[in-house]
Amino acid sequence: MDQPASPPTKMGVSVTSRATEGSAAAAPVKVSAQNVDVFYGEKHAIKGVSINIPERSVTAFIGPSGCGKSTFLRCINRMNDLIEGCRVTGRILLDDDDINDRSVDVVLLRARVGMVFQKPNPFPKSIYDNVAYGPKIHGLARTRAEMDAIVEQSLRKAALWDEVKDRLKEPGTGLSGGQQQRLCIARAIAVSPEVILMDEPCSALDPIATARIEELIDELRQNYTIIIVTHSMQQAARVSQQTAFFHLGNLVETGSTEFMFTNPHDQRTQDYITGRFG
Amino acid sequence: MADVALAPSPAPDAPRTRSADLIARSLSRRRRAEVRFRAYGLAAVIAAIAFVVFLFWTILQSGLPAFFQAAMTVEVTLDPAVIDVGPRPVRADFPNEAAFAAADLAWQTALAGKNFGSLIERAVNAVLATPASSRDIRAIYASNERFRLRDMVAADPGLIGRTIPFTLVASADVDVWFKGNIDRSLPENQQQLTLAQQQITDAMIADGTMKSVFASWIFTNVDSRSSPATAGLAGAFMGSLFMMLVVIALSVPIGVAGAIYLEEFAPKNRITDLIEVNINNLAAVPSIVFGLLGAAVFINAMHLPLSAPIVGGLVLSLMTLPTIIIATRGVLRAVPPSIREAATGLGASRVQVVFHHVLPLVIPGILTATIIGVAQALGETAPLLLVGMSAFVANIPTGLFDQSTALPVQLFLWQGNENRNFFEPRTSAAIIVLLGLMILLNALAIFLRQRFQTRW
Ligand SMILES: Nc1ncnc2c1ncn2[C@@H]1O[C@H](COP(=O)(O)OP(=O)(O)OP(=O)(O)O)[C@@H](O)[C@H]1O
Ligand SMILES: [Mg+2]
C-alpha cells in the first residue's frame, strides 16, 4: 500500500518481466510460461505472467501475501483443475509441450511435475506406504525389493531415513511437523519427477528442520528443477539461483537471485526486499 | 453499559481501571449466562434420560412377564386304539418315488384325522379330582398343542403305545387368569373362563401341575389366530430379516455409489443442484407416501406379489436411499482437501484418489449411516401396511417372494387384538425383541466404526 501503482524505477524502465540477467542465463529452459492469466470466477489472480524457468536449478517465487505465488505455482502441474471456477489462459510449456493441451495426460504431467504443499499432508497410512504410493500407482517398481529400494533412496534423499528406518510401518501422521514435511518431500521425489514445486515448505518448521530442507533442496538441484515459494528473503537468497517477484498478480521482476537482491530494478521489488511492505 | 460510557471524563490513569472494571462486571454477567446455559443443558439431558428410563422400565415391566407362560405337564398315553394308522411307509417297499410320496402322504393324512384331543383330554382328566367336560378341557390348553402332539408322533411313530410326559401350553385365557391379569372378582359373564374352567385351572395351579415356563415358542412359532397362546414372532422376524437383506443389498451400494458420484465426479451445475434438492426433499417425505408409491409401482405396474419381503424391501430401500446418500455425502465432504491434493499431486487419477484415499477414511462414517438407515427401515410400519404386509401369514417365509409380515407390523397386529389382557404384554415382549435387534445393530455400528477408524 506504500507503493500503489508501478512508478518508474531508478533506471527509468517499468516492465513486468525482465529477461534473465547474470549467471543462470545459460541453462536450458525447463518450464516456460507465456502470458498466463488465472481467474477465480471474476477475480483476476494472475495477470499476463511470462517467465522462463531454467533446468536443474532453484527458482524462488517471492512477493507479498495474496499476490498469486501459490496460484501460479499450481498452474504448473494443473492443480488448479481441482478448484471450482478457476480458469487458466495462456501457454505453459514443459520441455516445449503445452501442458494445457488436450493431448496431455494430466496424470503423466503430475508424475513429471511433483509438488510439496505448504502444510505437510502425509496420508494417514504408514511411512512406507506414504512413500511407496506414487511408485505403486505409476508401476515404477516390479518387485517388492525394487519398491523397498525406491522407498529407502527417497527417504535418504529427504534426509529422513535415519530417523524412520526402524518405524516404517508406523503412521506417517505420527511424525513431527518437520519430519512430516520431509516425508512429503520423499513422497514427491519417489516418483522421480523432473520438476518439483514447493509451496512454502519451511513455513511451519523450526530453524534446524529448515536448514536440513534447504540443504536437501541444494542437493536436489543436481537432478531436479525446483521452484520454491518462500516468504523468507534469506531463504530465497540462500537456496535459489533465480528469483521472481510477484505483486498483485503481476510478475514484477525476475532475474538471478544475486542480482535481484543486490540491484533490483523495480522500486516495488526494492521495497519488498528491504522489508518496507508485504 | 451505555451510562458508563457516558460517565464524566476519567482521570488520566482511569481508562485502564475502568476497562478492567467493565470487564469484571461483564465477566460475572458472562459467567451467569454460562451457568444458566449449562443448567438448561443438564436439565434437557436429565429429562431425556428420565424419559428413556421410564420407557424402558414400562416396556420391560409389562413385556418381560410375557416371556413366561402358564403350562401344565401331563402324562399322555399314546393309545394305539385311538391313533394307530399302521407303520409309516418305507421307501424300499415302493417301485418309485411318486408312489412312495403318495403313500406317505396318505399315512400322514390318516394320522392327522385321528383324535389326539381325546388323548390329551384323558391325560388332563387323570390329574383332576373330578373329570371335566371335553369343552372345558379344550378351553384350558392352546389348540395348537394337539397338532404338536400329532407332529411328534408323525416324526417318531415308535412312540405309539407309550406314555410320555407332555407339557401343554395353557390357553391365552388361562394364562391371563394364571397371571392375575384379569380381575377375579368380576362376575362369570364378564370372564373369559367359565366357573368350571376357573376351578380346573385353580386346581391345577394348587397341585403344581400348572407352572410358569419360558415361552420359547415366541421365537420359534409363527403368528396364530386359533391358538394365540402359542403365537410367535418367527414369521415376522424372518420377514424383517429378508427385507433388511433387500434394503442392504440395494440401498447401500446404490446410495454410496450415488453419493460418491455426486460428490466427487459429477459436474456442479443446474442438473446436479436439482438432483441434490430432490434428494433432500425425498428424505423428508412421509414414509407412508413411499408405501403408496410401492403399491402403485411394484405391485400394480410390475405385478410383484403382495405381502412379499421383496416388495417391502424395495419400498424400504427407496426410503433409506436418501438417508444414506445424504449421510455419505456429509462424510465425504468432511475429508480434508489436503489428502485429495496430496494424492492428486502425485499423479493419482480421480478414481484412485477416491478409492485409495477418500473411501478408506469415510468407511466408518458410511457404516454408521448405513446401519442407522437400516435400523430406521427395520422399525418402519406404515409403508408396509400399504403393500399388504399386514396380512395374516401362517408360515415362516423361506424366500423373498413368500408371503410374510414384519416385526413392527406384527406389533401393530397384536396391539390391535381383541384379547387385550393377553396381547398387551405380548406386544411389549415384541417391542423388547425389536429394541434388542436395534440395539444390536447400533452396537455393530459402533464396533465397526471403532474397528475401521483411521488414526489421524
Ligand atoms: N480458491 C480460490 N478462490 C478464490 N480466490 C482465490 C482462491 N485461491 C486464491 N485466491 C485469491 O487469489 C489471490 C492469490 O492467492 P494465492 O494463494 O496465490 O496467494 P499467495 O501469493 O500464495 O499468498 P500467500 O503468500 O499468503 O500464500 C488472492 O487474492 C486470493 O484471495
Ligand atoms: Mg500461498
pLDDT in tens, B192-211: 888 889 999 999 999 888 99
pLDDT reported for residue A84: 84
- Interchain pair A123, B455: CB under 8 A: no
- Tell me if B328 is assigned to some domain: yes
Q: What strand order describes the sheet that includes A225-229?
A: A113-116, A195-199, A225-229, A58-62, A242-247, A250-256
- Interchain pair A123, B343: CB under 8 A: yes
Question: B421 and B276 in one domain?
Answer: yes
pLDDT reported for residue B11: 52
- Tell me if A278 is assigned to some domain: no
- Tell me if A32 is assigned to some domain: yes
Tell me the pLDDT band of A277, cut-offs 50, 70 and 90. Answer: low
Does the pLDDT of residue A11 top 70, yes or no?
Answer: no
Instruction: List the one residue out of B384, B411, B378 whose CA is nearest residue B294.
Output: B384
| pLDDT tens by residue, A45-57 | 999 999 999 999 9
Cα–Cα dist B328/B316, whole Å: 18
- Interchain pair B346, A188: CB under 8 A: yes
Cα–Cα dist B251/B324, whole Å: 8
Ligand 1 centroid distance, CA of A21 (Å): 29
3-state secondary structure B178-223: HHCCCCCCCCHHHCCCCHHHHHHHHHHHHCCCEEEEECCHHHHCCC
Mean pLDDT of chain A: 86
Cα–Cα dist B148/B168, whole Å: 10
Does the pLDDT of residue A181 top 70, yes or no?
Answer: yes
Mean pLDDT of A25-49: 89
Question: B414 and B319 in one domain?
Answer: yes
Write the CB contacts of A221 (distance below 8 Å, at least 6 apart in sequence).
A56, A57, A58, A241
pLDDT reported for residue B15: 61
Cα–Cα dist B218/B169, whole Å: 12
Q: What strand order describes the sheet that includes B68-77?
A: B163-169, B68-77, B210-214
CATH code, domain with A230: 3.40.50.300
Question: B247 and B210 in one domain?
Answer: no
Cα–Cα dist A214/A227, whole Å: 13
The shortest CB-CB distance from A171 to any of B268, B340, B455 is to B455
Specify the range with the lowest mean pLDDT, choosing from A82-86, A246-250, B47-51: A82-86
pLDDT reported for residue A4: 42
Give the CA distances from residue B329 to residues B265, B336, B344, B359, B367, in Å, rounded to whole numbers and listed in that order. Answer: 12, 13, 20, 11, 13
Range of the domain at B271: 234-452
- Tell me if B58 is assigned to some domain: no
- CA gyration radius for chain A? 19
pLDDT reported for residue A245: 94
Residues of A in contact with B454 (CB under 8 A): 124
The shortest CB-CB distance from B338 to any of A114, A117, A188 is to A117
Question: CB-based contact (8 Å) between B359 and chain A?
Answer: no
CA-nearest residue for atom 3, ligand 1, is A40
DSSP bridge pairs for A29: A54
Cα–Cα dist B254/B246, whole Å: 12
CA-nearest residue to A74 within chain B is: B345
The shortest CB-CB distance from A121 to any of B342, B347, B455 is to B342
Cα–Cα dist B220/A73, whole Å: 69
Residue with cell 397371571: B179
Mean pLDDT of B85-102: 87
Does the pLDDT of residue A24 top 60, yes or no?
Answer: no
Instruction: List the one residue out of A259, A254, A278 whose CA is nearest residue A15.
Output: A254
| pLDDT tens by residue, B375-426 | 889 889 899 988 888 888 888 888 888 888 899 999 888 888 888 888 888 9
Residue with cell 393377553: B422
Domain ends where: B185, B215, B245?
B215
- Tell me if A167 is assigned to some domain: no
User: Which stretch of DSSP H or E encloses residue A114?
Assistant: strand A113-116
| pLDDT tens by residue, A95-129 | 988 998 888 899 999 999 999 998 889 999 999 99
Mean pLDDT of A134-147: 93
- Interchain pair B268, A77: CB under 8 A: no
Q: Which residues of A touch B (CB under 8 A)?
A: 77, 79, 82, 84, 107-111, 114-115, 117, 119, 121-124, 133-134, 137-138, 171, 173-174, 184, 187-188, 191
Cα–Cα dist B349/A50, whole Å: 29
Domain ends where: B155, B180, B215?
B215
**CB-side neighbour CA atoms (13 Å) of B100:** 9
Question: B153 and B126 in one domain?
Answer: yes
Question: B284 and B362 in one domain?
Answer: yes
Q: What is the C-alpha end-to-end distance of chain B, expressed in Å?
A: 46
Domain ends where: B180, B215, B250?
B215
Indicate which ligand has the atom closest to the C-alpha of A82.
1
CA-nearest residue for atom 5, ligand 1, is A40
pLDDT reported for residue B445: 82
CA-nearest residue to A189 within chain B is: B346
DSSP bridge pairs for A228: A60, A198
What residues does ligand 1 touch, defined as CB less than 6 Å away? A 40, 43, 45, 63, 65-71, 83
Does the pLDDT of residue B3 top 80, yes or no?
Answer: no
Mean pLDDT of chain B: 88
Ligand 2 centroid distance, CA of A117 (Å): 9
Question: B207 and B91 in one domain?
Answer: yes
Residues of B in contact with A138 (CB under 8 A): 347
3-state SS class at A116:
strand
Percent of chain B residues topping a pLDDT of 70: 96
- Atom from ligand 1 closest to the CA of residue A68: 18
Does the pLDDT of residue B325 top 70, yes or no?
Answer: yes
- Tell me if A9 is assigned to some domain: no
Structural domain tally of chain B? Answer: 2
Tell me the pLDDT band of B4, cut-offs 50, 70 and 90. Answer: very low
pLDDT reported for residue B403: 86
3-state SS class at A240:
coil
pLDDT reported for residue A274: 83
Residues within 5 A (CB) of ion ligand 2: A 70
Ligand 1 centroid distance, CA of A53 (Å): 22
Range of the domain at A119: 20-123+194-273
Tell me the pLDDT band of A15, cut-offs 50, 70 and 90. Answer: very low
Structural domain tally of chain A? Answer: 1
- Residue B327, exposed/middle/buried by CB under 10 A (0-12, 13-18, 19+)? buried
Residue with cell 505409476: A138
Tell me the pLDDT band of B454, cut-offs 50, 70 and 90. Answer: low
Tell me the pLDDT band of A67, cut-offs 50, 70 and 90. Answer: very high
Mean pLDDT of A173-179: 87
Cα–Cα dist A215/A231, whole Å: 18
Does the pLDDT of residue B99 top 80, yes or no?
Answer: yes
Does the pLDDT of residue B237 top 50, yes or no?
Answer: yes
Does the pLDDT of residue A153 top 80, yes or no?
Answer: yes
| pLDDT tens by residue, B274-299 | 999 999 999 889 989 999 999 999 98
Give the DSSP letter of residue A223: T
CATH code, domain with B358: 1.10.3720.10
Question: B245 and B204 in one domain?
Answer: no
3-state SS class at B76:
strand
Tell me the pLDDT band of A22, cut-offs 50, 70 and 90. Answer: very low
- Atom from ligand 1 closest to the CA of residue A41: 4
- Tell me if A2 is assigned to some domain: no
The shortest CB-CB distance from A107 to any of B336, B349, B357 is to B349
